[in-house]
Structure 1
């Protein structure tokens, strides 16, 4: 118990306040960083119940997230992004149409989990927290996520 709460607190959810201690990532206390700075430092959280974001495609979300981690002028170009996305989607056996669907909108539980793993692979974080990543998955989705 408390795994989701701990994960949310580490990631900087505004509902939680850490009153003592440190969480170090590469020697930096990430509790002193804003949420976006934590992600840029290499922290990734795959949530138990990922949010739906209407109007933002998976591909746009991931490309924006990748570029947010990079220095100005070092953004991933469209062709590099598409090549990387196709490779990771093939590895995870994800239908290419998912890239153009709105973020988690109308996704099954298995699709949401696969999408979280796809984001993880695309962003290449230093440290990932996977909150109940296998919860509610059928056997096929569990095999893909376990890869």
Structure 2
């Protein structure tokens, strides 16, 4: 089971002197649901941005671990490859790129140039996954983030 663990995390925005996160601890395992709630300005977005590696935030001390391995200092793409993903409440719609095209590009980005997933194999896997998730094919043909919230 995969885990995300935040240990005694202290963070500040690089543009500010003030520490925003002051000793945050959190442990989550695959399949668990957690809600982080609080008024504006309490560090919810700072925590998520720091976990994903936004360079506008500086980790003063503490650690962020994925499956026991520190991700502090890793670039965003390596954090994503470790299994992290940050979804925004109102993502920008990208007309002209379908969800299916985006997913195939994401899959192929992890494969060698000479081992790209062929379209027929991708479509077969996509159909199987859509059935598993009880989603219609229409969703895969929508433009990226169209109608999402």
Q: TM-score range by the shorter chain?
A: 0.5 to 0.7
Say if 1:4 and 1:48, in contact at 8 Å, map to a contact too. Answer: no
Whole-angstrom distance in 2 between the partners of 1:97 and 1:4: 32
Aligned length: 108
Whole-angstrom distance in 2 between the partners of 1:56 and 1:11: 24
**RMSD of aligned alpha carbons:** 2.3
- What is the TM-score of this pair, normalised by structure 1? 0.60
- Give the structure with higher Rg (CA): 2
Q: Which residue of the partner structure matches residue 106 of structure 2? A: 65
Q: 1:23 to 1:104 in 2, by over 3 A?
A: same
- Structure 2, unpaired ranges of 5+: 1-37
- Mapping of residues 115-126 of structure 1, within 5 Å: none
Higher helix share: 1
Say if 2:95 and 2:144, in contact at 8 Å, map to a contact too. Answer: yes
Q: Which residue of the partner structure matches residue 43 of structure 1? A: 84
- What is the TM-score of this pair, normalised by structure 2? 0.59
Say if 1:53 and 1:102, in contact at 8 Å, map to a contact too. Answer: yes
**SS at 2:57's partner residue?**
coil
How far off is 1:98 after superposition? 2.0
Higher strand share: 2
